[in-house]
Every structure is written in C-alpha cells, then in structure tokens.
Amino acid sequence: MNVISRVIIITLFIVTKTNCLPYDVHWLGGPTTIERDISPTKQTVDIYCYSGSAKNLLTLWQTVKFNVKLKNDEFIQYLGDNPEQVYNDYTEDSYGWAVGNPFQKSSKSVSLNIFTPTCMAINTKHKHAIELQIQRVDIWRVFLMVAGITLICASRLLSGNPVFFYLCGITVGISASFMVILYYISKLLPKKTLTYGILIGGWTVGVYIFHQLWENLRSIVAGYQAYMFWYTFMAGFISFVICYRIGPPKNQRSKNLVMWTLQIVGSFVTFFSSQYQEASAAIVITALVVKYFPQRWLHLIQGYWRRKFPPKPRLLTSEEYYEEGARETKHALDELRKYCSSPDCAQWRVMLKLHDAKRFASFVEGNSHLSDDEVIDYESYAFSMERTKPIANSTRNNLEISDDDSSVDDEDL
C-alpha cells in the first residue's frame, strides 16, 4: 500500500511539473482591462492574447487594439501569433541574444488583426494595465470607404473639374518639392563611408543611420515650424501658378487617364479600408460594375419591369380634378395667345373667318376669353347646381328611410 501511494505521489508530481508553464496566458475575448503590479517574487511572464473573431458583415468597420496604460515609456513589448513565440522572444531578449530592429519601437497602442489570434507580452518594472479595445464602428474606416467609393463613382466628373485639378496639382507640387530636398540631402552624404559601414556592420547599421536621419528631420520640422509653413505656402503657390498656366486637361484621352487613375486610387482605398478584405473587394467590384453598367441594358430592365408589374394608376379627387382643369386651361390659353401674337399666325386671315374680330383682338392683347354675360350665366348655373344638390341628397335619404320603415312595418305585420 505504501509503494502504491509513493508511485501515485511521484506521478502527480511529474505531471504537475510538466504542466507548470513559465508564463501565464490571459485570453481576452471582449473589451477588458487587466492591471498588473510587478512583484519581485513573480517568476512567470504575463502574456495577453486576443482570440480573434469570425468573419461577418458586422466586423466590416471594426478595429481591435491593445492599449498599454503606463506612466512612462520604459517598457518593451513582444508580439506573436501564439504564447510560445512571444515567450521565446521575451527570453531571448532577456538573455541578450535577440537582434533589435531600430525601426521597431514600443507603442502604447497596437492595432490587431481582428480575424487571427495575437499575443503580446510586456517587459517593464513599473505598474501597468493592458486594455483590449474593440471599436465596433471605426469612423476613420467608414470615411475611407466612403471616400474610395466616391472617387470611383465621381471619377468622370472629377477628371474635368478645375477645382479638383488645382488641388491635386498643389498637393503633388508640395510633395515633389520635399522629394527634391531629400535628393539634395542624399547628395551631401558620403557614399563610400556609408557603403563601407553597411557592408561591415550589416543592414542594421544602415537602418540605424536612416533612423537617426529621420529623427533629426522630425526634430528640425518641430523646431522650425514657421519656416516650414512659409516653405509649404510658397511651394503651394508656385504649384498653383504652374497649374493655372497649363490649365485643366481638355483632351478626352487626358481626362480618361485622370479618370482611370482616380478609379484605381479609389479601389485601393476602399479595399484597404476594412480588414474584412473579401467584403471590401466585393464592394469595389460592385461599384465598378455599377459605374460601367450599360445604360441601354438598364433601360431594357426598367421597361421589362414596368411591363411585368405595371404601376397602379391613382384616381384624382374632385378638388385635384378642378385644380388640374383650371391649370391646364390657363396654360393652353397662354400658349394660344402666344401663338396668335407670333409671326407664324396669319392674324388677318383668322379675323376674316371670325364672327367677332374685336373679341379676338382683345383676347390676343391679354383680356379674358369670356364675356361678362357668359361669366354671369356660368355662375348662375353653378349656383343653381349647388342648391339642387342638397335637395337631391335629402330626397334620396328620405326614400331610403321610407323603404326601411315599410320593410319594418311589413315584418311587424
């Protein structure tokens, strides 16, 4: 019995030591915040993992981020597809075996792929918190998709728009001026020394040098903002003058090149506006099909639909009937008066055939086509009809009542 107990204890000890991992994995599936206080007795590494989500239309504009809440920037982060990869990077960096990338800096906000699992570990000596932020509708992604679809659909209109031409010309001119400055700065760099340094130290030396140049350029821009503003203003003004001298494109082939370029840019912007790239690709294809769908086919489809499902006509009410009659009569009289006043009408020949030529001339001059006696006769007729209508209605009601009374009397009898 003692031997069996010892075997069980040894087996449980081996299993426990085998399953004891040197890191703790925290799987986050929704908006969560985990706070961690560094203790000297803690031997395991905290790894935070996002499990990913399924592909559906609700994730079209979704954005997922890891936010590191720390009072300073004294931390190093490690990203990977699984906890084992992150832990290996963590241990290699702790032992000093890993080769650092100067461009890879620790960021307090890391965007994640919403459809694949992603893990992250933090190496710091300060208290920190890890937040998984899930933004269901990212306004920036919505704006990019709307802008891309607008470029695709309005490319033909924008290709001949002068305002759009000047804006694009100014933007290209300012960007080109900065590229010229970078070109002349590269001429001042010692090529042989830089080449030998890259050959001796490897690609990391070259990346480090370019990284330092970029940081120095950023500090120069931040320190001389006024000069950069006036330089940008002058470059934009010169670009505007050149675009004004050249003028917007008038050749149809030039407009077609601009239109196709805008459609390509809009397609790329729409495609990369969402991480659900199957759905964004379908949106791009739909926009292009709608853009180039033949109008003749559209008219044929509309005609077939109207023949197959004709719209139900709506009958006019009495008020609408009288209003439309008065409006159309006035319009027809104005057209007749205009025709009689035009050179196309032979007024003298018409007046010879009329019984009252003076009345015709008065009508052409703008007077009413009805005489005073005709107006009085019409009003008296309308008044008499209004008076007889209630009498007819009351007579019909009396007849109905008498019929009902007679039927009731018959039943009673």
Comparing 91-100, 292-301, 315-324, the range with the smallest average pLDDT is 91-100
Residue 19: per-residue pLDDT: 45
Whether residue 400 is predicted with pLDDT greater than 70 in this model: the reply is no
Band the pLDDT of 245: cuts 50, 70, 90.
Answer: confident
Please give the share of the chain, as a percent, with pLDDT higher than 90. Answer: 13
**Rounded distance, CA 375 to CA 82, Å?**
95
245: amino acid identity, one letter: R
pTM, two decimals, is 0.58
The pLDDT tens digits for 135-181 are 889 999 999 999 999 999 988 888 888 888 888 888 888 888 877 77
More confident of the two residues 268 and 226: 268
**DSSP β-ladder status, 32-36 and 76-80:** unpaired
The pLDDT tens digits for 357-398 are 788 888 888 888 777 777 788 778 777 776 765 554 554 455
**b/e per residue 385-406 (b: at least 16 CB within 10 A):** eeeeeeeeeeeeeeeeeeeeee
The pLDDT tens digits for 200-222 are 555 555 566 666 667 777 777 77
Residue of 247, 246, 261 whose CA lies nearest to 156: 261
- Please tell me the number of Cα atoms within 13 Å of 245 on its side-chain side: 6
